[in-house]
Structure 1
Amino acid sequence: MLQPPIGDYAASPQSHEGRFHNPRPPGPGDMPESTLRVWWDFLFNKPAGTVPPSPIPIQRLTRADLDAAPDRSLYRLGHSTLLMKLRGQWWLTDPVFSDRAAPVQFMGPKRFHAPPIGIDELPPIRAVILSHDHYDHYDHLDHAAIRQLAGKVQQFLAPLGVGDRLVDWGVPQGKIAQFDWWQGTEVEGLKLTLTPTQHFSGRSLTDGNRTLWGSWVIQDDAFRLFFSGDSGYFEGFAEIGQRFGPFDLTLIETGAYNAQWPYVHMHPPETVQAHQDLRGRWLLPIHNGTFDLAMHAWDDPFEQVLRYAAERGVRVATPLMGERVDMNAPQEGSRWWRLQK
């Protein structure tokens, strides 16, 4: 597949010789010794329990539900896709609505559940907030979803280079704003800032790290929200917490982790530590419960985060997919995944 041209971002402090880089390069033990072996194990040596034994419960949403929702409502739609109502408008993160997190829809990781609401039923979206793109799993930047959303989204906010993908997919240039780390924008009083993560990017085997990755800080007056995208654990969380914290709610990845790639994904105790580094009040774990992307049990992220959070006195919200979360006053929610035992 031919890839679209990516702009020249040599002026970015994160760019070197045409590629973006993390502040700390991977060290010994940070990455798999053999990528081929990782893929072999993933395809042929899967342990039991990586997929739920029966359909998981979800709370279906209608347009009427959303129209009636009060401000600062949040809904998990699956994986890292979150629908949020802020300042009377709707915001969507890393939209993935396809059946499979893959470049083709006849193979690859299949959803455990349907989205609680389809794209056609969504209200107008003020902005889609993107964290990064990938070539291994299309679990954050879904080509089909972007094409379908383009007409009802007013603006796409993206790290450097990710917006170039969208232009190639037919999104008008005027709808796209791209940012480096610590840069941001104000949209009708809502402040959004792209902040660092420790990760990677790319859509093919030849364009790795040509686009930037990041997390997002969202400020609505005194209310502060953090969306992690994907990241390994690193000291950047503490810096974000110092600059922008404390956070009322942190939306942090925990899922698709493995002992062979701690550099790019966090294990559950690291998720809890990142939340504490950010000086968060409530933690809502994301990047789980939708796709089989690793070797751990599908419900392990929930159980492990709750275990480590309890040890440290951290409050955790675990809503059903499609269940409303009041961002002003989150609740723990049911332990819905235990119904699958």
Structure 2
Amino acid sequence: MEYAIRAEGLVRRFGATTALAGVDLAVPTGTVFGLLGPNGAGKTTAVRVLTTLLRADEGHATVGGFDVRRDAHQVRQIIGLTGQYASVDETLTGSENLLLIGRLLGMGRADAKARARQLLADFHLSDAGERPAKTYSGGMRRRLDLAASLVGRPQVLFLDEPTTGLDPRSRTELWDIVRDLVGSGVTVLLTTQYLEEADQLASEIAVVDHGRVIAQGTPEQLKSKTGGQTLAIRPVDPADVPRVVAVAGAAAGSTAEVVQQTVSVPVNDPGVLPTVVRQLDEAGVPVAELSLRGASLDEVFLSLTGHPAEQATPTDLEGAPA
């Protein structure tokens, strides 16, 4: 099958608020597809529609070739879902959580136990398998939650902001697990507001804002949309930052921004670089770092939406009732 997930014109309203305003998606089989956007953009609503937890008001979608409305039962048999927050029972052990899910899926007791042991080993949780989940760290709970979504060996896995609240090490470990899953043939739809996460994992990204897909392509294709490059300068003396802002902004003809004493300004003409270097030298401003680089996903998102990806939109629809 060429596409594991297809959606055309998905619309979902909550009262007077439109959470999805005509979303189209085509997710190739055996890939990670990223839905990138801020809180309230409609990412979770899209996942709920595709996983049969919500019905779209308009539009059509299939998962694994099954219609999410007409063939909801078949869709549920081939998917796994990990939400933004761990859904495991904290009073049960890790092993008991996985065993319970296996039994609910119709597995025999022996098969469910074997599957639980295998997943605990795969997710490096064997030593903690007989401990209550409430004793797990945040990273361990997320790994257990992901393991729970894989008990039924899904063909398509939906990960809705799976690394929210995790420390960098736990996040990296979860990224490695996702890569291994895709290597085994699983299709992953990943929603995230972390630009680095989308860049690291997704072979294709759809940027979502206010319930619409406003751009789509590979990370490199999206980066190329902004055109030009970014000049970044960090002066040796933080007191020189205002002077650097003035020089760089005037030379590039753009507004410079300052983040942690580093001045960044979009540049369309590479010839700006030697001009800025010469003017800073003439002004007696020593520079600790200077680079000219291509656009980042942060800059792509900012240019497309007018606000950073981590900035929530005024109405947070992600928590809207199902």
Work out whether the TM-score is over 0.5.
no
Q: Taking CA–CA contacts closer than 8 Å with sequence separation of 6 or more, which of the two structures ends up with the larger relative contact order?
A: 2
Kindly indicate which of the two structures has a greater share of residues assigned to strand: 2
- TM-score, scaled relative to structure 2: 0.31
Larger Rg over CA atoms: 2
**TM-score, normalisation: structure 1:** 0.29
Q: Which has the higher helix share?
A: 2
